[in-house]
Chain A
Amino acid sequence: MTTLTIAARPATRTVRSELTKIRSVRSTYWTLFVLVLASIAWCVAYCLGTVHSWPAMSAQDRAGFDATQDSILGLVLLGQLVIVVFGALIITSEYATGMVRTSLTVMPRRATLYLAKAAVFAAVSLVVSFVTSFGTFFLGRVLLASTHAGASLSQPGVLRSLVVSALYVEVCGLFAFGIGASVRNTAGALTLAYGCLALLPQLIRALPDSLHNALMRWVPGGDALNAMTATLGGRHPLLFSAWGELAVFAGYAAILLVLGAVQFTRRDA
């Protein structure tokens, strides 16, 4: 019998455990693989398409070509759908399998467990989204080499677009994580998250113009995504800046994370 215990604070121990959890299931690798693959596929399709049509493009079209946006839009549009699954599953899979009862029995400090879980998810998804954002940008540049239309990091708006896009994907995951902690059910969490990200921007288009124009900047997804990723064309009059739109969305995610924390700590497991 050799029970050697390691001296560490509860938060440190719990983070270590959550890291083991996330690394020891296949779904982590699958979802992140799909995220990266979808982003790369988008980048390749758009850049090669541009290379193909480049000779026939007018000077005006060439000037309006946003190489950065075309390279990373896959991460934003497709990546957000994948990271939502990842973020929701991190917490709902514990409820689906019953693992949460085991987790809370060994770590009954619920707030610590919740924060450790969110922090580990945030760290892992942050690394993946940044690597993908910069990776697809550089991949796009290589693919566009023959057109000399590739962007460089020093051009205005490029670095901002890459950073904001990566953070947006990250925030999407936390958004879904917060919903997952509240509803404790994978299907429910995904429906709600997709409803907010994909359906809401479509729904407000059906509203009268005045209302639509007033709400646009407050609705996640939709035109806000363009504001976050574009490096050309200046600011849309009805939207906040790229950072502003990201902040609005991060605000929603923060509210959902707090609501999720309340549910996680107060409700019976």
Chain B
Amino acid sequence: MIEARGLVKRYGSTAAVNDLSFTIRPGLVTGFLGPNGAGKTTTMRLILGLDYPSAGTVTVNGRPYAQLPRPMRQVGALLDAGAVHGGRTARGHLLCLAQTNGIARRRVDEVLDTVGLAEVASRRAGGFSLGMRQRLGIAAALLGDPRILMFDEPVNGLDPEGIVWIRTLMRSLAAQGRTVLVSSHLMSEMEHTADHLLVIGRGRLIADCSMAEFIARGSGQAVQVRTPQPDALARAAAIAGANVVAGQGLGELEIRGLTEEQVSDLAFAHGIRLHHLAATRVSLEHAFMELTADSVEYRAA
């Protein structure tokens, strides 16, 4: 369980994290979402005590992270796969981490095996590819067999095979009843893995809800129609209180705020012919973009 209360982190006059309060509940995969620069990494650094908050508190299992007696036994984190001394071998790297928490040497070989790095255990990490470094970082996170795992953008820069591997791993960790907090700026990444969502933009909390709620919260469904009388239908729909946008093709409209039955009845009542009528569910990606539209830091013109 991770609890943040009124967390603020300022760099000069800008607040990277602004009054953030949330609870990461045990046994769930929580997706931590937000556009680039939203404050996801900063929040994770605050949880781990790497950065000190300007205000507010964050605790892990009821204590500030720095006061956990053997933090690796409770939390495993992968923030930056590059945070390794390139001159050290994979085994040497993990061994010096394990020793700080009094974790037995043979556990190092176990996790190397788990992440598929057993064969390159004696090679220096400096020569590792991004995917191998990512695996090494995950091995480090798993060393203490923690109940809580934190991954910051774990699939960034990985090839499809690596992405599948990480997704599978996260699901299996969750299936073992572990708490997983995984950040991403891609909604599609969450679709398969997250049970719960924490959405932030510009350091502020935008949404803290289950995946199902999040989808429902978006603008819901839209109805796509094609008609030879688009003007008449648009007028009728607008009067009925819907939001109408012209579609891409000739005579196409996108109507929000009415169900497909209502649109059909409306057309029938006004004697308007319909050539096409279909309800489309708004994709997660779309809902996410709508939700964070106001909080994107840099927008293309």
Contacts and interface: CB of A to CB of B under 8 A. Distances in A.
B286 interface: no
A269 B83 CA distance: 12
B158 interface: no
Interface in B83-99: 83-89, 92-93, 95-97, 99
A13 B71 contact: no
A269 B70 CA distance: 20
Interface of A: 1-8, 10, 13-14, 16-18, 20-21, 24-27, 93-94, 97-110, 266, 268-269
Contacts of B49: 104, 108
B51 A98 contact: no
Contacts of A268: 45, 50-52
B77 A4 contact: no
Nearest to A112: B100
A25 to B, nearest CB: 4
B73 interface: yes
Contacts of A93: 85
A144 B9 CA distance: 66
Contact of B106 (A4, A7, A108): A4
A99 B133 CA distance: 13
Output the residue of B97, B103, B106, B110 with the most chain A CB within 10 A: B97
A6 B82 CA distance: 28
B65 interface: yes
B71 A105 contact: yes
Given A4-B103, A107-B71, 5 more contacts: A3-B104, A3-B144, A24-B95, A99-B83, A110-B66
B80 interface: yes
A16 B88 CA distance: 16
Nearest to A107: B100
A100 B85 CA distance: 9
A5 B73 contact: yes
A17 B96 contact: yes
B120 to A, nearest CB: 16
15 contacts: A2-B107, A3-B144, A5-B70, A6-B103, A6-B104, A13-B101, A17-B100, A20-B92, A25-B88, A103-B100, A105-B48, A107-B71, A107-B101, A108-B65, A269-B51
